[in-house]
Amino acid sequence: MKKLAIFGSTGSIGTQALEVVSEFPDLFKIEALSADNNWKLLAEQAIRFNPSTVAIADSGAFNALRKAVPKHIEVLAGLSSITEIAHYPSIETVLNAIVGFAGLLPTIHAAKAGKNIALANKESLVIGGEFIMQLTRESKSQITPIDSEHAAIFQCLQGEENNTVEKVYLTASGGPFLDYPLNKLKQVSVADALKHPSWKMGKKISIDSATMLNKGFEMIGAQWLFNLKPNQLEVLIHPQSVVHSMVQFTDGSIKAQLGPTDMRLPILYALSYPNRLSTTYNRLNFLDYPELEFSKPNMALFQNLQLAIEAMKKGGNMPLVLNAANEVAVDAFLQERIKFSEIAHINETILAKTSYLSQPAPEDYILLHREAVKMTLALIG
């Protein structure tokens, strides 16, 4: 039985991960759960899955959580408690489903502790990918990606250790605004932006998918996960969302991973790797997709994707700054303080205003993030 910690258990990926675990009670045991501030759902999960420990990042919710869970369950509070859990000897695998910058330190500590990491928090790799991969090599930690595109690439590379990758294609549905005229983006509402045509996701990642910055972050993450150069990565628009990513080798052959739009599949594979477990999940019926379309993304429409590609090529602190600015801008849009079309402009402005650091030290990640957040807040006003 594999003993798990799920960080971000009350979010979209976290709740689906618990659904997967519940289907295989003889194979997986929940040892720890964590949430940001949703203590009520966390308490319900604790009662159902009976972990040894639960942690809430919002220290103000500690007392309510303590009263709501059985007394034999250890209750911790604060972000530092989550990183502490990553070092618990009883935990074999850490599933990190925390959204945004907050997921960075849990990933770093899980890597330092030599845990198997089922990683949904792509921002960890955007901010500190090179450092994190170095930690995994030193500690013999294994990252198995949950992000559907990274999971697809990971699966395509199985058994190809001695073969050279020529190019990796990450596919994107194009989101809800694929066919929008550029001038209509100013009129986009929050509800419009949250209507992803293929995937059901949390609010932050839904907006990032609508701007396609999410795809840019996947490119940056893939660079570090699979030891690739920026020119080996390309994004293709694929509205059917059937092909999740493709890998082309130097002989010209291409391997692709296909499947339904069901995040339980990459979650299950990340938890059960290297084995595949039998499921009753929906199967892909090719007769439902007589045509599969691929095209290049419109960079004028998806300016955030272009910003991410430029940040990836420049490297240094640029991906970190882009992530920080975007977190603030997306939050402002969700609060209806800015227009959808302003997100990319704000991100571009902050990148241009930030001094370039070719090799930011890992101990400076938090300070650099705070500085970029402060600058973005001042710009939005």
Which is more confident, 181 or 94?
94
pLDDT, residue 201, reads 78
Q: Is domain 163-260+300-380 annotated with CATH 1.10.1060.10?
A: no
**182-232 pLDDT, tens digit each:** 888 888 999 999 987 777 778 999 999 999 999 999 999 999 999 999 999
pLDDT (0 to 100) of residue 185: 87
Q: Does the pLDDT value for residue 150 go beyond 90? A: yes
Distance of alpha carbon 104 from alpha carbon 365, whole angstroms = 9
pLDDT tops 80 at residue 126: yes
Please, where in the chain does CATH 3.40.50.720 lie? 2-145
What is the spatial distance between Cα 312 and Cα 223, in angstroms, rounded to a whole number? 9
What percentage of the chain has pLDDT greater than the value 90? 95
Kind of pairing between the strands at 2-7 and 233-237: unpaired
Q: What is the pTM of this model?
A: 0.95
Which segments of the chain belong to CATH 1.10.1740.10? Answer: 163-260+300-380
Residue 16 has pLDDT above 80, yes or no: yes
Q: What is the pLDDT of residues 31-87, one digit of tens each?
A: 999 999 999 999 999 999 999 999 999 999 999 999 999 999 999 999 999 999 999
Q: What pLDDT, on a 0 to 100 scale, did the predictor assign at position 184? A: 86
Cα dihedral sign for 313, 314, 320, 326? Answer: negative
- pLDDT for the residue numbered 197: 76
With the CA atoms of 172, 178, 184 and 185 taken in that order, what torsion angle do they form, in degrees rounded to the nearest 10? -10
Record: fold of 2-145: Rossmann fold (3.40.50)
- Whether 145 and 225 have beta carbons less than 8 Å apart is answered as yes
Q: Which pairs count as long-range contacts for 50-58, CB under 8 Å and 24+ apart, including other chains? A: 52/90, 53/85, 53/88, 55/81, 55/82, 55/85, 57/82, 57/102
Distance CA(76)–CA(56), nearest Å, equals 6
Q: Residues 237-252: what's their mean pLDDT?
A: 97
Name which of 135, 100, 106, 131 is nearest 118 in CA terms. 106
Q: How confident is the model at residue 152 (pLDDT cuts 50, 70, 90)?
A: very high
Please tell me whether residue 202 adopts helix, strand or coil conformation: coil
Longest dimension (CA), the chain: 61
